[in-house]
Structure 1
Amino acid sequence: MAEAYDVAVIGGGPGGYVAAIRAAQLGLKTVVIEREHLGGICLNWGCIPTKALLRTAEVLRLAQHGAEFGIKAEGLSFDLGKIVARSRAVANKLASGVAYLLKKHKVTVIDGTARLKAKGVVAVAGKDGKPLADVEAKHIIIATGARARVLPGLEPDGKLVWTYKEAMVPPSLPKSLLVVGSGAIGIEFASFYNALGVKVTVVEIVDKILPFEDDEISALARKSFEKQGMTIHTGAKVDMLEKGKDSVKATLALKDGKTQIAEFDRVIVAAGIVGNVENIRLEELGIKTDRTHIVVDEFSRTSAAGVYAIGDVAGPPWLAHKASHEGIICVEKIAGRNPHPLNVRNIPGCTYSHPQVASIGITEAMAKKDGREIKVGRFPYQGNGKAIALGEPEGLVKTIFDAKTGELLGAHMVGAEVTELIQGFGVAKTLETTEAELMETVFPHPTLSETMLESVFDAYGRVIHI
């Protein structure tokens, strides 16, 4: 007989395992079914190991500029094998931590591949494909995540054309690299490899890099990346890849209508994702999908009673912290609590390149398109004492307010540690803060966070330090 649970979670990523833990905290008997890695792509092959790689790039960059700080650092070199090994060790340590947390909360974990067998029943198969168990559950949460989008003609082969997985464990360092796509993933890899001395070219099909960021922030980030030596083509695409023995010849269709042929050692394709919706039997249970993502309501309920979907498989924004928060909201609704539905405009987005980029809420262009009357504030890092002391004078904090109500509509940042600073604006938006509360808040000195306050001051004609 199938073992019965209150909640069955399909997928143990940042959405799935968090949902499972919260369900257990609420007294619900819970099981997680994971086919590969607890922690999901984010922990094992995404957010965490890439940040470990980018930390190496940061340390190297600081060492290379040691003379500016009065430190002699001569004959610098690096060990690629150790860089990769450290990244993998960080990921493995955190993956074991997830297993511990699930055990601590008495969540059952089954290693296997799940599919919906019938209403309230999940069939689990082992790695050999043979039936392993049936699981009965009053509530089933699908948290199967997503995978890299494959573009025709740019299919990854694991050797010359990489996905994020191969890009994180390179056996050797390429001399030249083509990055297709300039979202957070593409730009982070471009930044890492550029810091290690690789000649990096980025191709983006839309007319700016980091397409979801504010235009002004995107332009400043591009200027910095190009200053560091990257070649960036926007409004461009890769028409064709011709693979050689140990290199790739790419035909690039550029914005001006011209064609450029260039040779690269390796190619990273970072052109979006597709949801993992295959072989779950969604259609048989009447669960609607839209362009490989499961359609859900504000509490993650699908079109089938008792079935929910969270995280990347449930649509944008494709962020680990969105998945985790969705999981908590979903489970609290199941448990009869009264959670607030997720407001996607209150979800911060971060890119851990050099310089870092972070944002929350709507951009200036979006606000104008909505017909809002707005006030916009800007404050450059070069006016901040802590930024100057850190040797990080390049950066900008931009805030957007509703001119009539003072509501904080959006905040957009580029510069050192903005991925940490952005949460200050996240709290402000959740609390529905206006410019008045922000200007009455005392920010410590000297800190980078003072740029946030000065940006608010600037929006209202009160800026002090510029």
Structure 2
Amino acid sequence: MKQYDAIVIGSGQAGSPLSKQLAKAGKKTLLIEKRFIGGTCVNDGCTPTKAMIGSAKAAYLAKHADKLGVHIDGHHIDMKQIRHRKDELVLSWRNGSRRAMENTENLDLIFGEATFTGDKTLTVKLNEGGEVDVKAELIFINTGTTPVIPVIEGLQEVGYFTSTTLLDVEEVPEHLLVLGGNYVGLEFAQMFHRFGSKISVLERGPRIVAREDEDISDELTKILLAEGLDVYTNAQSVKFERQDESIKATIVVNGIQQEISCSHILVATGRKPLTEALAPQLSGIKLNENGFIQVNEKLETTAKGIYALGDVNGGPAFTHIAYNDYIIVYRNLFEGADDKTTERPLPYCMFTDPQLGRIGLTEKQARDQGYTIKVAKLPMNQVARAVETGEALGVMKAVVDAKTRQILGAAILGEEGGEVMTVIQMAMMGGITYDRIRYCVFAHPTYSESLNNLFMKLDA
């Protein structure tokens, strides 16, 4: 049994920086990684998908440049080159992070699968063979999540992609059936439609991106339909059958059974925590009903001295939230801070085109919480910068407290929506009221300048 001061399980966007900081603080630290350094973000999430979305955007612009007076003839998609570019970016980030780990004093790095065997003790089955037993008084779990595969008749037999495996195709699927109409499914759906696939999206609920307000969901639906994607809501697949080179999918839409033919399937129906092999219960760690590790507002589990960071704790599944988990835990343990997860903002951005940047409360949430609100909306076709660049799809929306004039939340569905949302987030964090933004001087012509006009809508 090898003793450490601290053990970090998983090298995602919380585990990687935390392990280095622990080692630099003088703690003899072990980092255990089952697969690749960098976790989902670097290897299967943000880095590869946004690289490929960049290629898809270029394809879309080439196809639609005529309206700007630019005529591009003969462009084509080279999926092998797109994949190669994506792989180079992933390897650059992954290998750079690994070198940084290996060059950090007081930090040991091993590759294998960790399993709790008792109170703060672990056995690691090494990828290269053999096992090691380790223990520490401080343990940090950052094992993340993996795609959920629904039980549907015939799915296993016909085969399917996940958000991980679809990243490695070298040919454009002829007709991709996407199961799930939320963030992951929609990013992939639009991306592969722009590469040339026919796309059908099945969403079980009454609308896509159900976390958002209904008007935002409806606006995004209109944009995707206009681009040529098929979107089915109140829809689910019940059976798959192989028919020669195609797949017959039996689906039910609004209670009516029908059949569609596709070439490939993407399963994007959610994710589940990687806790089964870890067996955290053997160290006194409680899980919730969905298998996520229970933590308090400082990210400590039910076992003192053991913390869970990132997606595995059931919190918001975003890279920046995992990184902030690391900040909270490290500052509290080593800098005397009293940070809590309940005190942080929750910004996020879905990288469809246009982007959907979100911060704070939706209109529905604000009303449900009893606020007296005002709602400001500005179509992107009234934003000068958007019109000038030919990117005028979408809408800006903000929810404000009618009494205090504080901004409660915003959804920016538009070109550079994530960047405009961030301006609003900074205002919210600084207590800047909407009436001050209404008359603020912004550089012209920028997307953020349109916040003047957005908040002027409140007095119209």
- TM-score band, normalised by the shorter chain? over 0.9
Task: Identify unmatched segments of 5+ residues in structure 2.
Answer: none
Tell me the residue number matched to 1:359.
Answer: 358
Q: Which amino acid aligns with 1:264?
A: C
Pairs within 5 Å for 1:302-341: 302-341=301-340
Give the deviation of 1:350 after TM superposition: 1.3
TM-score, normalising length: structure 1:
0.93
Tell me the residue number matched to 2:232.
Answer: 233
- Secondary structure in 2 matching 1:454: helix
Give the deviation of 1:344 after TM superposition: 7.5
- Secondary structure in 1 matching 2:190: helix
Give the deviation of 1:104 after TM superposition: 5.0
2:386 pairs with 1:387 = yes
Tell me the residue number matched to 2:125.
Answer: 125
Tell me the residue number matched to 2:287.
Answer: 289
Tell me the residue number matched to 1:18.
Answer: 17
Tell me the residue number matched to 1:261.
Answer: 259
Output one character per residue of 1:390-432: Cα deviation in whole Å (capped at 9) or x when no partner: 1111121111011122222111011111123222222233334
- Secondary structure in 2 matching 1:65: helix
Q: Which amino acid aligns with 2:434?
A: E
Q: Structure 1 stretch 388-397 or stretch 428-437: which is displaced more?
A: 428-437
Q: Structure 1 stretch 188-197 or stretch 332-341: which is displaced more?
A: 332-341
Output one character per residue of 1:49-93: Cα deviation in whole Å (capped at 9) or x when no partner: 011111001111111122223323111112111111111111111
Give the deviation of 1:436 after TM superposition: 4.2
Tell me the residue number matched to 2:55.
Answer: 56
Report the Cα distance in structure 2 between the residues aligned to 1:240 and 1:349, rounded to whole angstroms: 35
Cα gap change, 1:134 to 1:439, in 2 (>3 Å): farther
Task: Identify unmatched segments of 5+ residues in structure 1.
Answer: none
Report the Cα distance in structure 1 between the residues aligned to 2:154 and 2:34, rounded to whole angstroms: 24
- Secondary structure in 2 matching 1:173: coil
Report the Cα distance in structure 1 between the residues aligned to 2:154 and 2:284, rounded to whole angstroms: 32
Cα gap change, 1:432 to 1:343, in 2 (>3 Å): farther
Preserved CA contact (<8 Å) 1:201 1:231: yes
Pairs within 5 Å for 1:189-208: 189-208=188-207
Preserved CA contact (<8 Å) 1:239 1:252: yes
Preserved CA contact (<8 Å) 2:154 2:239: no
Q: Which amino acid aligns with 2:264?
A: R
Preserved CA contact (<8 Å) 1:395 1:414: yes
Preserved CA contact (<8 Å) 1:14 1:320: yes
Preserved CA contact (<8 Å) 2:176 2:200: yes
Give the deviation of 1:158 after TM superposition: 9.9
Output one character per residue of 1:81-134: Cα deviation in whole Å (capped at 9) or x when no partner: 111111111111111122233345433321121122333333222125621x33
Pairs within 5 Å for 1:234-253: 234-253=233-252
- Secondary structure in 2 matching 1:438: helix
Q: Structure 1 stretch 63-72 or stretch 387-396: which is displaced more?
A: 63-72
Report the Cα distance in structure 2 between the residues aligned to 1:75 and 1:342, rounded to whole angstroms: 52
The Cα RMSD (Å) is 2.0
Preserved CA contact (<8 Å) 1:345 1:362: no
Preserved CA contact (<8 Å) 2:154 2:240: no
Q: Provide runs of 4+ in structure 1 moved above 6 Å.
A: none
Report the Cα distance in structure 2 between the residues aligned to 1:259 and 1:377, rounded to whole angstroms: 41
Give the deviation of 1:32 after TM superposition: 1.3
Cα gap change, 1:331 to 1:225, in 2 (>3 Å): same
Report the Cα distance in structure 1 between the residues aligned to 2:450 and 2:118, rounded to whole angstroms: 55
Tell me the residue number matched to 2:114.
Answer: 114
Report the Cα distance in structure 1 between the residues aligned to 2:70 and 2:89, rounded to whole angstroms: 29
Report the Cα distance in structure 1 between the residues aligned to 2:58 and 2:322, rounded to whole angstroms: 30
Q: Structure 1 stretch 389-398 or stretch 440-449: which is displaced more?
A: 440-449
Tell me the residue number matched to 1:342.
Answer: 341
TM-score, normalising length: structure 2:
0.94
- Over the matched positions of the two proteins, sequence identity in percent amounts to 30
Report the Cα distance in structure 1 between the residues aligned to 2:157 and 2:167, rounded to whole angstroms: 12
Report the Cα distance in structure 1 between the residues aligned to 2:242 and 2:306, rounded to whole angstroms: 45
